Amino acid sequence: MAATTATSNISPVVIGSGRGKSTTYIATKVTGPVKNAAGEITFSSDIVQYDDASGGGEKTIASRDSATGKITWNSNASNRTKLNANKFKKASNNQMLSIEKSLTSNASEKVGFNKASGSANQQISSGNGSSGDTSSSSAGNSSGGGSQISGEGEGRKSYSKSLCYPTTLRRTQQDTLRISVLKHKPSTMKGLGFEKRTPGKAIGAVTLPIPGGVGDKNATAWGQGTMTPAQIATSNAVKSFLTKGGKEALEEAKDSLGVLQDNPKDVKAGLAAMFTNQLTGTKDILARTEGAVMNPNMELLFSGPSLRSFTFSWKLSPRDERESMTIMRIIRLFKQSMAAKTTKSQLFLKAPNTYKLQFVSPNGMKGTHRFLPKVKECAMVDFGVNYTPDGSYMTYDNSSMVSYEMAMSFQEIEPIYNSDYTELDGDRDQSIGY
């Protein structure tokens, strides 16, 4: 296998705006294919900088990892270039794509080339380089669900895990809210219920200051329930027959009959009211004629748990160009990850990503904030951005808004149970819990 070196055309990369605007000319030089010690086909690549568009003053400013495409800058790269690494990476990716055909001739070589360009999740199309993200090729192998539906079609597989606003937040001892994007895992049936839910793999994360108005509300559903004496008698007899047998059911019927025989006047009035209601539709005959109603045996009955909701909002005001790009990526991450996914057949829609919300304190046990609530796996049910929160349209030189207002609402996927707190009771340092 003979290795070949190809260099892309020179492309300009524009940094900044106004008086701070500058243009850097780069090309990407790729060498391969070469087999590594593991027998995998790899490509090595370098980013080359020039003094002008004609190619003078050539110098290598970075190399790219053959397995991940990650850029490593050398001493020839300026600090300004390193601060705008994303722009140079995007330009280099496009340059590599432009010379792919000249270096690859089969699917395995294209896989190695995609890895070198940082596009390992892309599939290989027939002769046209890389296309969208790949889908799971096997049905029914999704973790936790045993799904019979084919894998996702167009769907992003990973996001940055280091997004942070403000960018100086990671250097402080401030309490934060870390929102991780999780791969959604469907529930798995087991016996008469479902297996204990375990969150999916984290594929992205954003760290933000803890917003104002943090709160939670734990609730359970209770409602009024009634049973008339007739319903009690018949229900008791049927239940005894189904659970104990005919002899016990007969005894229950005898007990009810004994109560009727001991109170003939009440029984007579009740039967008269019941038949009058059946024949005439009059429902309040007892209340009108006797000043009484049938005892409803009213009781407040538990009807089920409730799911908690959490709503947060932040005002994001970029202080420099780098921070404006971070805000753009944060908004894009939330918008894309909460969107439904299509299957390859377009016959089904698959659930969006879910989220892990964690209040983090430098003084907490394992980073967890002891004095704020724990939150179970959540779905994002609402996300909104106000691009003019100050009431007027204003932008910086790079067209970024002066401020953004970002609001989002989450809802936990499963209720909070008493046993969830029990699992925390053994902690050396007690916390508020859920």
List, for residues 163-220, the tens digit of each pLDDT value: 999 988 877 889 999 999 999 988 888 888 888 888 889 999 999 999 998 999 999 9
Those residues with Cβ within 8 angstroms of residue 371's Cβ, 6 or more apart along the chain or in another chain: 361, 431, 432
Per-residue pLDDT, 263: 58
Do residues 174 and 360 make contact, with C-beta atoms less than 8 angstroms apart? no
Domain residue ranges in the chain: 4-133, 163-220+307-422, 229-255
What pLDDT band is residue 141 in, cutting at 50, 70 and 90? very low
Q: What amino acid is encoded at 346 in this protein?
A: Q
Give the model's pLDDT for residue 64.
Answer: 94
- Residue 261's pLDDT band (cuts 50, 70, 90): low
pLDDT at 57 (0 to 100): 92
The DSSP secondary-structure symbol of 152 reads B
Confidence check: pLDDT of 434 > 60: yes
The Cα 89–Cα 78 span in angstroms is 15
Q: To 10 degrees, the CA torsion angle through 164, 169, 171, 175?
A: -110
Higher pLDDT, 429 or 81: 81
Residue 93 and residue 28 in contact, taking contact as beta carbons nearer than 8 Å: no
pTM: 0.60
Cα separation, 35 vs 39, in Å, equals 5
pLDDT bin (cut points 50, 70, 90) of residue 108 is confident
Average pLDDT taken over every residue of the chain: 83
Q: Is 303 helix (H, G, I), strand (E, B) or coil?
A: strand
Q: What is the Cβ-side half-sphere exposure of residue 101, based on CA atoms within 13 angstroms?
A: 6
Which of the pair, 421 or 305, is modelled with greater confidence?
Answer: 305
Query: Three-class SS of residue 334?
Result: helix
Mean pLDDT, range 343-358, rounded to an integer: 90
Judged by DSSP in three states, 79 sits in: helix
For the cut 80, the answer to whether the pLDDT of residue 259 exceeds it is no
Task: Report the range of poorest mean pLDDT among 19-23, 57-61, 114-118, 330-334.
Answer: 19-23
Whether 26 and 93 have beta carbons less than 8 Å apart is answered as no
Distance CA 382, CA 316 (A): 18
DSSP 422: H
Q: What is the mean pLDDT of residues 231-236?
A: 75
Q: How confident is the model at residue 238 (pLDDT cuts 50, 70, 90)?
A: confident
Indicate if the pLDDT at residue 49 is higher than 90: yes
